[in-house]
Chain A
């Protein structure tokens, strides 16, 4: 359907106003909201995410595409909830206690939203208890921890322990990332997944939410 292709194409170019207009037009033409979401917006973000992973596009291009996605999605949201369409999954994300860096965390959040995941943003300087309490109260399937500093990385291990203490370790996946974080560190603290970039983090989160990882 050409209008869905147009949404997909314009989203990749970050043309937020055009995307919003096209989404409204698609709604007016009676196209199902889920179809507009999947074949227009999410299809466009999938392509942007792949290009980002392949170094074909850079962060600003991802951000403007995400903004276009959000503007289009805002029109679909009420229609999707009316028809009982649920998000792909729900995660809570934050930068760990002692660390105020939020660039990477915000990128991951945007990429996950671009995959249709509902994201609870806990901000920066988040203590282990807050991650776990939020995951329990809001039924998050995944806790995502970010750190830029080698000195704050160990807090990620405390999040894992806190989840174990609260008895939810078998119900939530714990993902970790940030400049100094490595696969080996992820294994060492008993987290479930390390990813080196935001697009891969979003892919991994989708796989966890769909139960295929």
Chain B
């Protein structure tokens, strides 16, 4: 099976045997690893002034960098962050990645129209609108949903080159979700449910991401029927067994390696955390994708991520689960 096939089977919670799939939402350490600026860190102010040849060189180089990152770490999926954005440039980048790597990798991109936690400046206004102008807020939500679907349809019409959308609006702080469960039902659930359903009709998979403590709303998120939930943030007190108790075993889970610990913990603490994530994530024998609890962000120590991946290579096989983690661990 290709990486893409293994990734899709995992999203469907089918057993795959062998190595548990892995990927990252973003791998920002491209300069340190490959000597190249990450595409999201580039500033293409004069993009439209460039000759086609120059734009093509940039686009090819970015496509190759995404593939090189996936190859270096045996990632099964590539999350593209098209820069410059827009349908045409996105399409171009997707075409190049497919041209260079065929169907080897599952390809995903952003596509979340639902509200995230507002920033500090707009949080008060947003909260007031929730109470004083819910109709207006919901009208805006509908417009955001329509725009997201229009973008997806435009890409779909051009050849359906990627496999899925990852919905990255953050809903939760470490302590609790921003939205109460009732607010979540009113302002998020209808649009999350619809965007996932519409993407699915187009043949796209969905992974719903949010940091923080998702436990009070995880059932509501799961009921919107994403294929997977990412990032299972231990800093927000999220544990895979506890999530499984609430949402069952038929939805894929992604993440759970403590990002903060990778930065601040000792080697021993990090090793223990990675082993715990593998043990708990793989315990059902299916439906788990290994990754950090957020992404490989700017400033993360490269050697720590590589240590995490070394442990994954050594202990991340379903075939050796009982040997590595004890008999009877696989349910």
Contacts and interface: CB of A to CB of B under 8 A. Distances in A.
Interface of A: 14, 55, 57-61, 63-64, 67, 101-107, 149-151, 153, 179-180, 185, 196-197
B176 A58 contact: yes
A180 B260 contact: yes
Given A102-B121, A149-B299, A196 B174 contact: yes
Contacts of A67: 124, 128
A150 B263 contact: yes
Contacts of A180: 235, 260, 263-264
B298 A151 contact: yes
B248 interface: no
A185 B175 CA distance: 18
Interface residues of B, number: 33
Contacts of A153: 264
Contacts of A149: 297, 299
B119 to A, nearest CB: 6
A2 to B, nearest CB: 25
A133 to B, nearest CB: 23
Contacts of A60: 126-127, 130-131, 178-180, 183
Interface string B11-42: 00000000000000000000000000000000
A57 B120 contact: no
A196 B235 CA distance: 11
10 contacts: A14-B131, A57-B180, A58-B183, A60-B130, A64-B131, A103-B119, A149-B297, A149-B299, A180-B235, A197-B175
A150 B299 contact: yes
A197 B213 CA distance: 13
B117 interface: yes
A102 B120 contact: yes
Given A14-B131, A153-B264, A179-B260, A103 B123 contact: yes
B181 to A, nearest CB: 9
B173 interface: yes
Nearest to B182: A58
Contacts of B179: 58, 60
A58 B188 CA distance: 15
Most interface-central of A58, A107, A149, A185 (chain B CB within 10 A): A58
Given A60-B183, A64-B128, A196-B174, 8 more contacts: A58-B180, A64-B131, A103-B118, A103-B120, A149-B299, A150-B259, A179-B173, A179-B212
Contact of A55 (B119, B130, B176, B183): B176
A150 B298 CA distance: 10
A116 to B, nearest CB: 19
A106 B123 contact: yes
B216 interface: yes
Contacts of A106: 120, 123
B228 to A, nearest CB: 23
Nearest to A196: B175
Interface string B291-302: 000000111100
Contacts of B260: 150, 179-180
A179 B123 contact: no
B164 interface: no
A196 B176 CA distance: 11
B177 interface: yes
